[in-house]
Every structure is written in structure tokens, then in C-alpha cells.
Structure 1
Amino acid sequence: MPVLQYGQSIIEWRFQADAKLKRHYVTVERGQPVLLRGPMVDATEQEALVRRRARWIRDKLALVNLPQSPDVITTGSRLRYCGRTYFTEVRHCPELTRPQLTFTASRFIVENPDGLAIQFDGLMPWLEQFYHERAHEKLLVRVRHWERQTGLHARGARIRHFQSRWASCNAQNVLEFHPRVMELPASVQDYVIVHELCHTSEKNHTKAFWALVARHMPDWQRQHEVLERAVFGDAI
């Protein structure tokens, strides 16, 4: 992998050709070589491009590689969405009165009035708001899909905060999902939906219930194992 000496810093990079891009982009992440993306260029031109941004790259590397506490979110931290963790950039925006969180399809951006670090607990309300919006947008559509697939029908579906559950099917056969279901891989989200739909027919975890789950999702055990290893929730 090519390297560039810039002052006392060593910059290691990898190149990813992308014909769809009209210019070159540099991405800096914790513990990773610098990523240079864009139209195909030879090694000499790659080095010239990295050298042109070397001061910015050095400063970003120093920032993202600062020692981290899992309770503090800084640039280079990772936040979870749909089974993946995404690079997070924290920007100091003193003009704001409260943090703002956006997602750009490849990274989270936190605009923080209090500096370049934010406690995870302080960010969690905004992260859960993001999950809540995405659950309304994506998860409830999947419920309708699985109703068609299974022939099982709920009387409704909604997003709701639980103390320590991913989801439930209440006595009226209304399905309820915690926003943080959106942390899980899509296949596990589908399992949670099928699991709760099966409760519209079988309320308890009997042999008949698990047979119904297996009929509609033969690989349910693999998805259940992933769910059990997840860091939130102890039951569905």
C-alpha cells in the first residue's frame, strides 16, 4: 500500500477507482488507511492528490485517532444502523441550541453546540428520533409485505418505546416495535416482524408457535441468534 511522508507524519492510502465520480475525494476513518476515490489515475497522480490534501489529512487523522471512551461520541466514532456501523463526524456548531443528527447514506453527522465531543446518553434521544423516522418509513412497509407473504394480519402496527423489549403483539393484535429495531440487520428486522405476526395466531411460545414461525421463515433460528447477541432488548 503506498505511503507519503508529510513532516513527521506517515500517510498510508488506498485508491478506489470510481468512473461515476468527476473529481477525487478523500475519506479519513479511525484505524483505516486514507481512502482516495475518483476517476482512474496512476500512482504518481494519486500521490500528488494525497500530497495536495496532506495537511488536512494529517489533522483529520490526529482527530479521529484520539483515544475514545465508548460513552463519548467524537469524530471517528461509529453509530449503528441496519446491522452496520457508520463513521460519525462531530462538528462544533455554537450557534445551535441543541444537537442535530443527520445521516448522509454513508455517515452520521452530529452538529453539536457544546464542542467536538458529545456524551452518548446526550445523543441517544436524537439517534432514537432518527430510528423512529426510519422505522415509520421502512419497517411498517415491511409489516405489510409480510402480512401478504404469510396471510397473517395485525390490527395495526406502530412504533413505541419499551423498557427492554424489541417488539410485542398486544391483546388486540396490534404490533409494536421499538425504534431501535432499526439498529438490526434487515434480515433480523424481518424476523422480528414475522415473530410478532405469528403471535396474532399463537400468543405463547408453544411448539405450535415455533412451527408457525418456521413455516414462514425457515432460517429463523439464525436470525434469532443474532437478535440474542444484540446489545439492546432481552425478549420479543
Structure 2
Amino acid sequence: MPETEKATLYYQNKTIRYTIRRSARRRTVGITIDVQGVRVAAPKRMPLEQVVALVNTKARWIAEKYSEFKSRLEPRKRFVSGEEFLYLGRRVSLQVQTEPVAGSKRCPDALFQPELFDFDFLPRPRSQAAVALKGNVLLVQAGTPNVHSEEVREMLENWYRVRAEEVITRRVKHYADELGWPMPRVLIRNQKKRWGSCNAKGELRFNWRLVMLPLRVLDYVVVHEMAHLKVLNHSPRFWALVEQIMPDYKARHQALHELGLGLYW
């Protein structure tokens, strides 16, 4: 299994921590800056001092790209009516309703029936504050006339988490049935640097933000983590298994890289 080490880059007034991942198959040093932070891929036998020295020669580039990346991850959404969000790759417009419907203490149930967009969702108990997707409108019934944007944000995140659990669990089951594998335990988490993970106990953890992606891209993360149930590393055997399950996984992986930045509020 590839070895990992931690190191720190200092450039002007910036301190950037990065992970060095070693592999016997690696012949050169490569640097990646993405949602997982700054990662360095290095040959297994290259001395740490040499790896750090090579990284330091790219200090300015790393610092600039790292700052640019972090700025793109800063919250960009306004949680007010008219703001656009994503759900399964589709753009939907937020509508915040702060007053109850006349003649009722809460919005009628009809407003909060789940839409049959990609899956049949089981109805859940509804409270005065609720979120529903109707056509291309993401409707938030705040339940109070003076709702703060952070409250709307929290309601939306909770809604996305519920949908993520429903959608991702169904996709895992789809592939488990297709492959004849037992259904693993699926957990939805607020992961800051990962889209998914698999541990030695066979538990799959997924970032709730995945439910914003097109289904074909979400499926790539599902298949990637399910492949770890058989191969708990990123060896050629692992990637061969991913390709066997999903022959076009490289295109889907690229789409995840391109779309992923826009999912962080």
C-alpha cells in the first residue's frame, strides 16, 4: 500500500501543509491541488529532503494555485430567493417563503410532496419549517417571517443530506445487486476533503454534496468506494476492478474534478 508523509511549505506569509504519497511505481514527483488539499506523489525511494526540495522549487506556483483554489471554495451562495442551486446536475431556483399559507399554520402537504424526478421517495414527517423541490423551484417554508440566511442554509443542508442518503443508498444497492455483492453500510457525512471513503469494516462514507452532481458522476464515486470493498488501495488491481464495473470511469472522474468545486457553499 502506498506510504504517506506530511510536510509543510513556507512561502512569504503563507504556510501550506501537504501530504506526500509514495509509490514504488512512481518515477517522478507530481503535485496536485484539489478538494483534498495539496498532495505530492513521489517515488518510494526518493529521500524526503529531495522531495521537499523539489516541492520548494514550485513554491510560488503552489501558493498561487492554493490561494486561487481556496477562494473558489469560499461560500459564494446567497440563501435568498432567486439564488441557483444544483440537484442531481439540474439547476433549481431557491424560493424562500416566510409567511404561512392563509388558513393554515403551515404550508399544505401538497407543496411538500416529493417530486418523482429520479427516484420514488418515501414520505417523511413534515414540520412547520420544510423544504421541497417543485419543478425547477427549491421551495423553503421558513415558518417565521424573520428568517436569517444561515437558517435557510441549515434547512437546505439538512434537505440535501436526506436526499443524499436516499439517492446514494439506492445507487449502492443498484450496484451491489448488479455485482452480486452484499449490501454494505452507507453513511452520509459532511466531509471537507473527500467525496467518499471505505474502511476496513466495509462501511462506505459519502459526502452529502454528491447529490448535487449528475447521476452518472455520483455513480462514479459510488463505484470507486464499492471497489474498495474488494481492494483497499489504489493499486492497478483496484483500477482494473473499477474499469470492469464502469468502463468509462475516467471520463466520469474528470467530470467530478471539473464540477466538484462548485458544490461547496
Report the TM-score range of the alignment, normalised by the length of the smaller protein: 0.5 to 0.7
Aligned to 1:144: 173
Aligned to 1:108: 138
TM-score, normalised relative to structure 2: 0.54
Note the 1:148-163 alignment, pairs <5 A.
Answer: 148-153=177-182, 155-163=184-192
Aligned to 1:195: 224
- For 1:125 and 1:172, the matched residues in 2 are separated by 31
Quickly say closer, same or farther: Cα 1:78–1:71, change in 2 above 3 A: closer
Does the Cα contact within 8 Å between 2:79 and 2:153 map onto a contact in 1?
A: no
- Distance apart, 1:70 and its partner CA: 4.0
Aligned to 1:93: 99
For residues 74-96 of structure 1, the C-alpha deviation after alignment (integer angstroms, 9 at most, x for no partner) is 32211111011102222233899
Quickly say closer, same or farther: Cα 1:74–1:125, change in 2 above 3 A: closer
Whichever residue aligns with residue 239 of structure 2, its letter is W
Aligned to 2:200: 171
Quickly say closer, same or farther: Cα 1:130–1:210, change in 2 above 3 A: same
Larger RCO of the pair (alpha carbons < 8 Å, separation 6+): 2
What is the DSSP-based 3-state SS (H/G/I as helix, E as strand, rest coil) of the residue aligned with 2:166?
helix
Quickly say closer, same or farther: Cα 1:74–1:128, change in 2 above 3 A: closer
Quickly say closer, same or farther: Cα 1:197–1:232, change in 2 above 3 A: farther
Counterpart among 121, 143, 152 of residue 123 in structure 1: 152
- For 1:107 and 1:233, the matched residues in 2 are separated by 18
Q: Does 1:76 align with 2:82?
A: yes
For residues 132-160 of structure 1, the C-alpha deviation after alignment (integer angstroms, 9 at most, x for no partner) is 22123222111111012234445322222
Percent identical pairs in the alignment equals: 31
- For 2:99 and 2:161, the matched residues in 1 are separated by 24
- Distance apart, 1:212 and its partner CA: 0.7
Gaps of 5+ in 2: 1-74, 107-127
TM superposition outliers: structure 1 runs of 4+ over 6 Å = none
Quickly say closer, same or farther: Cα 1:70–1:178, change in 2 above 3 A: closer
- For 1:233 and 1:167, the matched residues in 2 are separated by 14
Aligned to 2:233: 204
- For 2:167 and 2:139, the matched residues in 1 are separated by 21
Does the Cα contact within 8 Å between 2:86 and 2:212 map onto a contact in 1?
A: yes
- For 1:72 and 1:106, the matched residues in 2 are separated by 18
Does the Cα contact within 8 Å between 1:79 and 1:88 map onto a contact in 2?
A: yes
Aligned to 1:59: none
Aligned to 2:253: 224
Gaps of 5+ in 1: 1-68
- For 1:224 and 1:204, the matched residues in 2 are separated by 17
What is the DSSP-based 3-state SS (H/G/I as helix, E as strand, rest coil) of the residue aligned with 1:103?
strand
| Residue-pair matches, total | 164
